[in-house]
């Protein structure tokens, strides 16, 4: 049964002592947290008495405010707070379909940035101006432009879900703009000698990890999730079947990320040196003594970053080696379609591989050409034999 809508005129009065203002009040239909219809008392300052000379002028302004409420197509908005909506509606609907890493990313954006400011604010009271001021303040407080962009994206997806659930008439985040992007720190150029020098500087296990990343183009999560059953040293092939993030194993990033790639002779030699006699097919290639996966973050902070800093290299992280691999493939004249297949890109736009098809023989030749750029294995690539027994003993400091 359709609920009868009552036409209302609202009320108007003056408030203030030194500076008097016109205040309008009216009842507005809303949807409560239990999804039941209700009403709340709304009030709004129209302006000062000096600015609005007569009560008739103030009434005209009130009529304008009530025109939408009194219209037949007015849609009540929800009085849910952002916190309650995220907890009870947004996460239960979205999170079952997300990977663990995506959940952690969203949790960080929401808990660290959105909730302290908007957590107890009703969805209907979140305005474009409030969101814009919030984003500007984030940028001015030292957050990177990329972080502000991620915050805006997460905020927008939450309020867009509220629009779909008919709790909001529109998404105010959509009407905001990202703050101007300031100058970006220059990253160290990816050159063959730079990559080799950095790998030479690293201790195990980061030395072997970096070498394999640079020569295979794997993502760090894909490499740390490798098990010996994924590697065929005789045929020189590697299968990407899983990825790991903070100790949680999951499917690779995209369908094309689940792939099989050829290994060059140096990569095979590195892996052969790492394999222990007691290793089973399900044993991780890189793990602590208790079999737990290594932590990419700990390795980054304790081994890779200090080595890069010592060489005065900027912008170096695990993904830097994947970029290095793509750069080296390009320098050897590898077709874009082959590069796309080796890297497991999900979209042809990333490598413009739509018009070029990958040939397996070309893929093997490509990785072998990249390995030639590294020089002989004995001088540079692969684990130092004095380090191989030592790195698992680093214990929990490198475990997730």
Top mean pLDDT of 29-38, 115-124, 368-377 is at 115-124
pLDDT at 281: 93
The answer to whether residue 383 scores a pLDDT higher than 60 is no
The answer to whether residue 92 scores a pLDDT higher than 70 is yes
Q: How far apart are CA 109 and CA 119, in angstroms?
A: 12
Q: How far apart are CA 185 and CA 59, in angstroms?
A: 56
- Provide the mean pLDDT of the chain: 81
The answer to whether residue 246 scores a pLDDT higher than 80 is yes
The answer to whether residue 388 scores a pLDDT higher than 70 is no
pLDDT at 209: 96
* More confident site: 345 or 224: 224
Q: What is the CATH number of domain 82-175?
A: 1.10.150.130
pLDDT at 47: 82
Residue-wise pLDDT for 110-124, tens only, equals 999 999 999 999 887
pLDDT at 185: 66
Which tokens is 13 given?
């009065």
Q: How far apart are CA 274 and CA 21, in angstroms?
A: 78
pLDDT at 184: 65
Query: Using 50, 70 and 90 to split pLDDT, how confident is the model at 286?
Result: very high
The fraction of the chain above a pLDDT of 70, given in percent, is 80
Model pTM score: 0.66
Q: Largest alpha-carbon pair distance within the chain?
A: 93
Mean pLDDT of 242-248: 92
All CATH 1.10.443.10 domain ranges of the chain, comma separated, are 192-398
Does domain 192-398 correspond to CATH entry 3.40.50.300?
A: no
Least-confidence region, from 166-170, 186-190, 228-232: 186-190
The answer to whether residue 197 scores a pLDDT higher than 70 is yes
Nearest to 214 by CA among 117, 319, 139, 294: 319
Top mean pLDDT of 129-133, 182-186, 312-316 is at 129-133
Query: Using 50, 70 and 90 to split pLDDT, how confident is the model at 191?
Result: confident
Burial class, 243, CB count within 10 angstroms (exposed 0-12 / middle 13-18 / buried 19+):
buried
pLDDT at 290: 84
Q: How far apart are CA 135 and CA 178, in angstroms?
A: 7
Residue-wise pLDDT for 315-364, tens only, equals 899 988 988 888 887 777 776 767 777 777 655 444 443 323 344 566 67
Query: Using 50, 70 and 90 to split pLDDT, how confident is the model at 97?
Result: confident
| Long-range pairs, 315-318, Cβ under 8 A, ≥24 | 315/185, 315/186, 315/187, 315/188, 316/187, 316/188, 316/198, 318/209, 318/213, 318/219, 318/220
Q: How far apart are CA 389 and CA 391, in angstroms?
A: 6
Which tokens is 60 given?
């005209």
């Amino acid at each position: 049964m359709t609920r009868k809508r009552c036409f209302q005129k609202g009320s108007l009065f003056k408030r203030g002592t030194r500076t008097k203002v016109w205040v309008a009040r009216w009842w507005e239909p809303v949807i409560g947290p239990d999804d039941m219809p209700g009403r709340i008392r709304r009030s709004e300052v129209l302006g000062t008495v000096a600015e609005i000379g007569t009560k008739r002028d103030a009434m005209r302004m009130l009529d304008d405010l009530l025109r939408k409420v009194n219209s037949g197509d007015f849609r009540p908005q929800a009085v849910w707070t952002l916190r309650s909506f995220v907890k009870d509606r947004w996460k239960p609907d979205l999170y079952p379909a997300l990977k663990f890493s995506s959940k952690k990313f969203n949790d960080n954006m929401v808990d660290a940035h959105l909730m302290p400011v908007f957590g107890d604010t009703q969805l209907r009271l979140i305005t474009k101006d409030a969101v814009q001021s919030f984003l500007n303040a984030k940028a001015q407080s030292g957050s990177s432009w990329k972080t502000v962009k991620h915050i805006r994206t997460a905020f927008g997806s939450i309020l867009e879900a509220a629009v779909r659930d008919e709790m909001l008439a529109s998404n105010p985040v959509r009407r905001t703009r990202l703050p101007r992007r300031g100058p970006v720190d220059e990253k160290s150029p990816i050159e063959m000698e730079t990559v080799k020098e950095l790998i030479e500087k690293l201790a195990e296990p980061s030395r072997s990890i970096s070498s394999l990343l640079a020569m295979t183009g794997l993502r760090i999560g894909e490499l740390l999730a490798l098990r010996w059953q994924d590697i065929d040293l005789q045929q020189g092939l590697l299968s990407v079947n899983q990825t790991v993030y903070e100790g949680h194993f999951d499917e690779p990033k995209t369908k094309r990320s689940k792939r099989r790639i050829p290994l060059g002779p140096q990569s095979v030699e590195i892996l052969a040196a790492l394999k222990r006699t007691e290793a089973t097919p399900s044993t991780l290639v890189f793990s602590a003594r208790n079999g737990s996966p290594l932590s990419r973050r700990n390795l980054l902070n304790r081994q890779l970053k200090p080595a890069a800093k010592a060489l005065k290299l900027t912008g170096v992280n695990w993904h830097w080696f994947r970029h290095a691999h793509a750069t080296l493939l390009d320098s050897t004249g590898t077709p874009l379609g082959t590069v796309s297949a080796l890297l497991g890109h999900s979209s042809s736009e990333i490598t413009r591989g739509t018009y070029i098809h990958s040939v397996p023989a070309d893929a093997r030749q490509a990785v072998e050409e990249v390995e030639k750029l590294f020089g002989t294995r004995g001088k540079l690539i692969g684990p130092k034999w004095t380090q191989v027994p030592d790195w698992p003993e680093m214990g929990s400091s490198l475990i997730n």
